[in-house]
Structure 1
């Protein structure tokens, strides 16, 4: 109990969250394989979006980083390492490391491009020949989670920068001919309320998954959610202790899934069926096909399987496709139902 109370700020346990299974699954799969491309969570206000996202970050195992590095550089993976650390390694310098909690970075709505990307001190560079870089949020988020609440209200230019960094894993800042590049590989999580406007389709398509959440209608379930929250607010540490075992089980399941992800295979016939579904639904580009393959593998690994089965695809495909369908104002059914109908026709 004492050990738990050393946390600076208690975080609501992920396994204590009632309902919202779609959102929880999307977050878990993106943590298992960040290359899925992040999650867009759209839903009503007050449905626990922020609580759930903070809870998944708190659940994750600590990561090893180079000590006092601005970019949470990995000690051995070149793709997750800053140029300065690479240079030190090549020179044979011994690099100290430490374990830190997975970074969870919030992007405020009023953020500027400099706050997001970082800034170069031009004066110092010109006068003293020293490249001084003040890291931004993209540097802090490397190897962690970057959360953008109300992403549909964020300036489109900033959303473009975010999505480019999330896709390439790098952030490049250029000022007056001086350039600084650093790793920026993170799970991008956006949330928003559809009443406040939709994201442009080309930006929406860049999110790997799209989870829709609704206010719980069942009165007994609502009571359970309210009681769970009240219990946490009145005594957070006993609530955290109560869910310690289930939290550990989930953490172990995620670590195990991450370790076996590379061994999971998907049959060629199933790949063809996935592409057939995307084709029938007129999904633009091939991003949908790629994301479904990745998500199905992550789901199979999470369920301790070596091979993707039809059920695994069915569990993830709506999350991967519902935001990629072309909007037809005359449609009477929502995109999730449309995907479901085609999936049942093709996969049975």
Structure 2
């Protein structure tokens, strides 16, 4: 298995790294959409973060990564069994599952196990990519080019947190909660609004233009390729520090207080920008809470909220034919007007 690039060794792209950490602290935020140039470290950052996170415990022999500490209804049908029985578990690395553009619906959601059906005459279910990604990351490169029927399947699962398969005489239901991470180039096509709305955070990444930054990136990557073990060892201490920070944040996030003035500010920003629904406010509050938890604080502040406004709202703005300004400019202008 190839050793992943250390997360703390990634140069620049601070907004992307922060967004990924926020999504890892609180999965209910809804994942991260990363749009930008090729070769800017998108997939590297995702795999690096997954390798950095602590291992998770899964039920031994379960194909759906069920948590032995969870009880019905958060388990698959096999693990529910006797509700009083103790489920044995073991630790495994957090899964990072790639969803390729050419994947069939059967490969994504699962289907009848043809081999067992032909050789044993058994009607069994073969889990798909959504089952493999449960409690981990589902990564989609070129997400804006994904076929509509796959998008529909993802929307259903994202809304319910479980995958339901009714086909070939099978009726299967299993948990499927994951951090959805999509990347792509906006010049190659737009993302369907329904799927776009499911992403909690959206970041834009660009190829660095500063010579010093570019040199630093090339030096680091070259050193990693020459001797991966030595490079990883060099960053081991920083990786350990960040791992502990994320672990603390995940245990603290549900205890972080959100004052009413924070809720009012989130609502005022969303009203000023004319965002649809209330998902913008909910995501703003959750992201601010996760940011506070990462800082080791037990109360979210205006500063925490303001630091996540751009990634939370830049993909939720309606198009205004009378305003050609970019989404970031409109957001910053709206926030400035609130201060006036």
TM-score (norm 1): 0.93
* Contact residue 8 and residue 238 of structure 2 kept, 8 A: yes
Corresponding residue of 1:44: 37
Q: Secondary structure at the match of 1:257?
A: helix
Work out whether residues 155 and 194 of structure 2, in 8 Å CA contact, stay in contact via their aligned partners in 1. no
Post-superposition CA distance 1:212-233 (Å, at most 9, x none): 1111010111000011000000
Alignment of 1:249-328 (within 5 A): 249-328=241-320
Q: Spell out, residue by residue over 1:150-207, the C-alpha distance to the aligned partner (whole angstroms, 9 max, x if none).
A: 0001112212222331332100000145310001110000000111111022321111
* Equivalent of 1:73 in 66, 69, 84: 66
Distance 1:194 1:95, change over 3 A: same
Determine the C-alpha separation between the residues in 2 that align with 1:332 and 1:190: 26
The residue that corresponds to 1:87 in the other structure is 81
State the distance in 1 between where 2:215 and 2:59 align: 46
Asked if structure 2 preserves the Cα contact closer than 8 Å seen for 1:310 and 1:347, the reply is: no
Shift of the alpha carbon at 1:273? 1.6
SS at match of 1:261: helix
User: What's the counterpart of residue 229 of structure 1?
Assistant: 221
2:236 alignment partner, one of 244, 247, 267: 244
Partners of 2:331 and 2:17 lie apart in 1 by 20
Residue 208 (str. 1) matches residue 186 (str. 2): no
Deviations along 1:115-154, one digit per CA (max 9) or x if unpaired, are 00000359978xx995511000000000100000000011
Q: CA deviation at 1:347?
A: 5.4
Q: Write the deviation string for residues 101-128 of structure 1: whole angstroms up to 9, x where unpaired.
A: 0011000110010000000359978xx9
Q: Match of 1:144?
A: 136
Q: Contact 1:211/1:319 (CA < 8 Å) preserved in 2?
A: yes
* Paired position in structure 2 for 1:193: 185
Deviation for aligned residue 1:97: 1.1
Is 2:50 the partner of 1:57? yes
1:3 maps to which residue? none
Whether the 8 Å CA contact 1:37–1:167 is kept in 2: the answer is no
Contact 1:273 1:347 in 2 (8 A): no
1:14 aligns with 2:7: yes
2:326 matches 1:334:
yes
Residue 331 (structure 1) shift: 3.0
Sort the Cα spacing of 1:80 and 1:235 in 2 relative to 1 into closer, same or farther, 3 A.
farther
Q: Note closer, same or farther for the CA distance 1:80–1:237 as it changes in structure 2 (3 Å cut).
A: farther
The 1:16/1:80 distance shift into structure 2, 3 A limit, reads: farther
Shift of 1:95: 2.8
Contact 1:80-1:185 at 8 Å conserved across structures: no
1:76 to partner: Cα distance: 1.8
Structure 1 unmatched runs, 5+ = 1-7
Q: Is the 8 A contact 2:158 2:198 kept in 1?
A: no
Find the aligned partners of 1:202 and 1:70 in 2 and give their Cα distance.
Answer: 29
Whether the 8 Å contact between 1:201 and 1:324 is mirrored in structure 2 is: no
Which residue does the alignment assign to 1:157?
149
The alpha-carbon distance between structure 1 residues 37 and 244, as it changes in their structure 2 partners (threshold 3 A), is: same
Give runs of ≥4 in structure 1 deviating > 4 Å: 121-125, 128-131
CA contact (8 A) 2:112 2:168 kept: no
| Secondary structure of residue in 2 paired with 1:206 | coil
Q: Is the 8 A contact 1:40 1:191 kept in 2?
A: yes
Q: Any idea what SS the aligned residue of 1:270 has?
A: helix
Structure 2: 5+ residue runs without aligned partners? none
